[in-house]
Amino acid sequence: MLLLMTGIPAIADFVVNDIKAGISNKILTINGGLDLGLSSKADEALNKGIPLDVWFDIELCRERRLIWNKTLQTWRIKRQIRYHALSRQYLVTRDLKNPESVENFTSLSEALKFMGNFNELKLAVSPEIMKKYNHLIKVRAQLNIESLPAPLRPVAYASPSWHLSSGWTEWKIQH
Amino acid sequence: MEDSTLNRYTTGIKPLAVLSALLVASLFMMNAATQNSTLFGDIYSMLLVINLVGMVLLLSLILINLYRLVVQYRAKVMGTRLTLRLFLMFVLLSVIPVTIVFIFSVQSLNKGIDSWFDVKIKRALDDALLLGRTALDARKQDMVKKGKDIATELEGMPDKAALTSLNQLREQYNITELTLFAHDGKVIASSSQKGLDISSLVPERPSEEIMSQIRKGLPFSSIDPVGNGGLQLRIVVPVYAENVAGPLRTLQLNQQMPIRYTKLGESVQNAFAEYEKLVYLRGPLKFGFTLTLSLVSLLTVLIALWAAFFSSQRIVAPLKDLAEGTHAVAQGDYSKKLPVPGNDELGVLVKSFNEMTQQIHQAQKQSRRSQREAELQRAYLETVLTHLSTGVMSFDRGQHLRTSNAAAVNILEAGLIDEEGQSIDQLLDSHPHLSPFITAIKEGVSSNESEWKTEITLESRAGSRTIMLHGTQLPIFRSRRGGYVVVFDDVTELIRAQRDAAWGEVARRMAHEIKNPLTPIQLSAERIRHKCMTSLSDKERETLDRSTRTIIDQVDSLKSMVNAFSDYARQVQTVPKEIDVNGLVRDVVELYHTDAVIITEENHGKKEVQDQDMVIILTFDPRLAHITADPGRMRQVLHNLILNALDALKQSSTPSLRITTQNLEKNNQTFVQIRIEDNGPGIPAELLDHVFEPYITDKEKGTGLGLAIVKKIIEEHHGFIYAENLEQSGAAITMQLPASQNTTMENHNDTNDSPIQYREHKA
């Protein structure tokens, strides 16, 4: 697999570092990770027991020369981090549908690194994918303000500290 | 259609009511979400946006209505002033209390939220957490010690025997799970309790961070929350080899905490986490509640504004209707009916107004009906008066002319139509010939009698006319004298007719009583003459001859007179035929060609005429209408008149007789006029008015019945005749006879054509 980075991170807080993606046997495999840097407000809220949900949006697109790219398939991966005061550990849930898939970390940096890591992430793609076309994926990570407690949402919408997003980055895929 | 729909949506009560209800519901939901995220928490932001957009919409609608009200106020539309005043009053009454409530509510809210947080509770929770951690740490230290002991026992133990040893040691130390890792992280052996609920068959490998700590010879211990809400102790210790250069192995102990520990720990953790979260959310909570309260207050104010707007409009609407109704009544429109707003005082007022206008409307209709009837009566009276042959004039109490009919104009020969409103003295100035008439009216009015009657004589172009006046005082209405009305008739013709009838009777009696003895007298005279002539002397014979001849001549004369009277009195059976008057005149005049020179169109300028010659000039209208008359009687008329004229011209030096015919329009009827003019001495003035009466003559010889018979014949043919003297000299007799119906139409358009002139008067 030959991987080329073409995307440029838009927001400094969440940064897409390096993504390697390939399609094989109708499976899209993604490796790489994102640096999820929390703002002081978000860090404070996390340590005060507010769970933070980060949404990873992935779009599979067909590259077109003259017009805009065609989006073939989209995925949204939802991960959550929260602080457990009694054990003094950060709990990362990588699959919100399965609450027991929790990883414990004593340090926040280790937890965020784990949270932003795509280690052999496999996604099933539709049969439309054809080798004769060039494809690419777009990746974005953003803090979901709507998952915050209701009273906090107006404040979060009004404050730039809460608008944590990596912006879209594009990564070429070679079949 | 689109404008009305838009108007209904912007000014209607239902859209605003629905919008307000939705906003109230949305605010309730938002408030519930602020208090508890599980209720409507997912749609909190959407609710917030809906509320803001809805309020902007509500505010826009109110501003649109307010703008329209201001525009109408500037245009001075009826009722807008009061509406605006009421609106402002309602606004003040609603906004001020809401603002006060809002301020106090915000303060109370902030204080209330602050009261949720207590330092003692915070300290208790911190202590509880610390206590929990201490208890867990004690368990953890105990487990570390156990781990070290087990690691010591495993030193020098070959990998192949590790599993057996692990099983024994796990049971010996009552450990949930024991795992031995090689230096490269691979699992050498693992032992766990039966029935253990583990998420993975493969034990979790220590992370690099843990391994680096192990390599330093330091044990690792942690308390890990597990997915099902429980707690687990994790201890990692090094297992040294017997020789120093041997590979370092790692032992990992996982020990599930007892259920009691787990529950207590979970309780402490949840309480602490919730409280910490609450403390952290204190500011946002205040903001959220304040925001909700602000939105509620704003919504209340907006609804109050809207209610104020519509209430003021609803209150003012009946008053506006009333104002418009009174304006319409002032303009004379009594048919306007106002909608009754309800059963309150305004409703009673509007009902009374409607009843009042209805009554006025009925009265107005009745008045109009009466006025129309009066106009019909007036038109009827005018028609009757116009077509009356009797003259009618009415005067007000100031003796000003109010009305006069056409007959009055004809009888008085005065244009009274345009002189209505003039005083009776002004009428006298305008028409001096009416002096006897006006004098008679004044005398009648001054007599103060309700009715008076008199007879006067008016001089006119056709001679003296006798007018019979009858004055009546009009009824007095509400102490106002109603003036008086004068009715009068021209009785000249009536008197003449009576006189003619009397003369006819005299003539008939004379013919009967006188004619009979005349023949015996004449015969007796002739007999005496015949028998005595021979027996008498010459002197006596001469005397007898003269006497008897005188008797016989006088008897002849008397016979002629009696015959004339007989002719006058005789009722002749006329045989009317259609006559060409021009031809008739020409035929009659032709009989006089030996006595006079006749000048016609054909011989005009051809005949030689001397001054002393009798000249008869015929001037005929070539389009003269025919008349229906007895030709013999009409011939007699013409002979009588021509003979009279010729007799009158015997003493004239330049005798001339002119006979003119022409059509004449009179009272929408065509007449044929025959005019005979001579240049003789004229008719003596004292005889002019009686020239057509029997026994009126200026001739030495004549019965005086010629013109009377002429007049009688003309009247038998429904004609009109009059005599007048000419300005220079001479007299004229004018006859007017109605034209035949069938000839009238064909000559009608040419009636104004002038007849052809054959010869001018002699100089």
Residue in A85, A149, A153 nearest the CB of B45: A153
| Percentage of residues of chain B with pLDDT beyond 70 | 89
Within 8 A of B281 by CB-CB distance, chain A residues are 50, 149, 151-152
Q: Is the pLDDT of residue A58 over 90?
A: yes
Q: Is the pLDDT of residue B723 over 50?
A: yes
Looking at the DSSP bridge assignments, the partners of residue B660 are B619, B675
What pLDDT score was predicted for residue A153?
86
- Tell the burial category of A45 from Cβ atoms under 10 Å away from its Cβ (0-12, 13-18, 19+): buried
Within 8 A of B132 by CB-CB distance, chain A residues are 86
Work out the minimum CA distance from A66 to partner chain B, whole angstroms: 38
For A158, name the nearest residue in chain B, comparing CA atoms only.
B284
Residue A30, amino acid = I
Secondary structure letter of residue B381 according to DSSP: H
Most confident of B10-19, B284-293, B504-513: B284-293
Most confident of A154-168, B508-522, B551-565: A154-168
What pLDDT score was predicted for residue B8?
59
What pLDDT score was predicted for residue B480?
62
Interface touch A152/B284, C-beta < 8 Å: yes
Q: How confident is the model at residue B758 (pLDDT cuts 50, 70, 90)?
A: very low
Give mean pLDDT, residues B422-438: 87
Give mean pLDDT, residues A62-77: 88
Can you list the positions of beta strands (E) in B242-336? 249-256
Q: Which two tokens stand for residue B206?
A: 């220590």
What pLDDT score was predicted for residue A3?
38
What pLDDT score was predicted for residue A143?
93
pLDDT in tens, B627-686: 999 888 899 899 999 988 888 888 888 899 999 999 988 767 889 999 999 988 888 888
Interface touch B41/A150, C-beta < 8 Å: yes
What pLDDT score was predicted for residue B751?
41
What pLDDT score was predicted for residue B539?
85
Check CB contact of A91 with chain B, cutoff 8 Å: yes
Q: How confident is the model at residue B536 (pLDDT cuts 50, 70, 90)?
A: confident
Q: Which two tokens stand for residue A72?
A: 């073939």
What pLDDT score was predicted for residue A139?
92
Which of A137-146, B330-339, B435-444, B724-733 has the least mean pLDDT? Answer: B330-339
Q: Is the pLDDT of residue B763 over 50?
A: no
Which of A93-102, B19-28, B196-205, B438-447 has the least mean pLDDT? Answer: B196-205
ipTM: 0.77
What pLDDT score was predicted for residue B756?
32
What pLDDT score was predicted for residue B748?
45
Q: Is the pLDDT of residue B197 over 60?
A: no
End-to-end alpha carbon distance in chain B: 95
Work out the minimum CA distance from B29 to partner chain A, whole angstroms: 12
Q: Is the pLDDT of residue B143 over 80?
A: yes
The CATH architecture to which B142-266 belongs is 2-Layer Sandwich (3.30)
Which 65-84 residues of chain A touch chain B by CB within 8 A?
84
Arithmetic mean of pLDDT over chain B: 82
Work out the minimum CA distance from B139 to partner chain A, whole angstroms: 13
CA distance B617 to B636: 20
Q: Is the pLDDT of residue B144 over 70?
A: yes
What pLDDT score was predicted for residue B658?
92
What pLDDT score was predicted for residue B668?
73
What pLDDT score was predicted for residue B196?
56
Q: Is the pLDDT of residue A51 over 50?
A: yes
Chain centroid to Cα B463, Å, comes to 59
What pLDDT score was predicted for residue B11?
62
Q: Is B350 helix (H, G, I), strand (E, B) or coil?
A: helix
What phi and psi, each to the nearest 5 degrees, are found at residue B230?
-90, 180
Q: Is the pLDDT of residue B410 over 90?
A: no
Interface touch A154/B288, C-beta < 8 Å: yes
What pLDDT score was predicted for residue B601?
75
Within 8 A of A49 by CB-CB distance, chain B residues are 272-274, 276-277, 280
Within 8 A of B283 by CB-CB distance, chain A residues are 155
pLDDT in tens, B365-400: 899 899 999 999 989 988 888 888 889 888 888 888
Looking at the DSSP bridge assignments, the partners of residue B674 are B661, B735
Q: Is the pLDDT of residue B334 over 90?
A: no
Q: Strand A4-5 relative to strand A169-173: parallel, antiparallel, unpaired?
A: antiparallel
Taking a C-beta distance cutoff of 8 angstroms, is the pair B619, B600 a contact? no
Q: Is the pLDDT of residue A160 over 80?
A: yes
Work out the minimum CA distance from A141 to partner chain B, whole angstroms: 21
Q: How confident is the model at residue B36 (pLDDT cuts 50, 70, 90)?
A: low
Q: pLDDT higher for B29 or A9?
A: B29
What pLDDT score was predicted for residue B627?
92
What pLDDT score was predicted for residue B444?
87
Residue in B44, B48, B276 nearest the CB of A49: B276
Work out the minimum CA distance from B173 to partner chain A, whole angstroms: 24
Check CB contact of B222 with chain A, cutoff 8 Å: yes
Taking a C-beta distance cutoff of 8 angstroms, is the pair B490, B466 a contact? yes
Q: Which of B31, B35, B37 to mutate to test the interface with A (most CBs of A within 10 A)?
A: B37
Work out the minimum CA distance from A159 to partner chain B, whole angstroms: 12
CA distance A133 to A65: 11
Kind and range of the H or E element at A32? strand A27-36
Q: pLDDT higher for B196 or B111?
A: B111
Boundaries of every domain in chain B? 2-116+281-326, 142-266, 388-490, 497-569, 577-748
Interface touch B291/A154, C-beta < 8 Å: yes
Check CB contact of B506 with chain A, cutoff 8 Å: no
Chain centroid to Cα B82, Å, comes to 30
Interface touch B283/A155, C-beta < 8 Å: yes
Which of B97-106, B308-317, B620-629 has the least mean pLDDT? Answer: B308-317
For the question of whether the overall pTM of this predicted structure is more than 0.80, the answer is no
Give mean pLDDT, residues B338-343: 80
Which of B40-46's residues contact partners 24+ apart within 8 Å by CB, and which partners?
B41/A149, B41/A150, B42/A146, B44/A150, B44/A153, B45/A145, B45/A146, B45/A153, B45/A154, B45/A157
What pLDDT score was predicted for residue B6?
58
Check CB contact of A160 with chain B, cutoff 8 Å: no
CA distance A72 to B289: 44
Check CB contact of B9 with chain A, cutoff 8 Å: no
Most confident of A2-11, B356-365, B752-761: B356-365
Q: Is the pLDDT of residue A141 over 60?
A: yes
What pLDDT score was predicted for residue A128?
67
Q: Give the domain B577-748 fold.
A: Heat Shock Protein 90 (3.30.565)
For A105, name the nearest residue in chain B, comparing CA atoms only.
B224
What pLDDT score was predicted for residue B38?
61
pLDDT in tens, B82-110: 888 888 888 888 888 888 988 998 888 88
The CATH architecture to which A4-173 belongs is Sandwich (2.60)
What pLDDT score was predicted for residue A142?
92
- Closest C-alpha to B743, from B623, B625, B629: B625
Q: Is the pLDDT of residue B732 over 90?
A: yes
Give mean pLDDT, residues B458-482: 76
What pLDDT score was predicted for residue B478?
65
What pLDDT score was predicted for residue B661?
94
Interface touch B274/A150, C-beta < 8 Å: no
Check CB contact of B69 with chain A, cutoff 8 Å: no
CB atoms within 10 A of CB B292: 23
- CATH tag, B388-490: 3.30.450.20
Give mean pLDDT, residues B19-39: 72
Q: How confident is the model at residue A12 (pLDDT cuts 50, 70, 90)?
A: very low
| Percentage of residues of chain A with pLDDT beyond 90 | 26
Boundaries of every domain in chain A? 4-173
B142-266 and B388-490 share one fold = yes
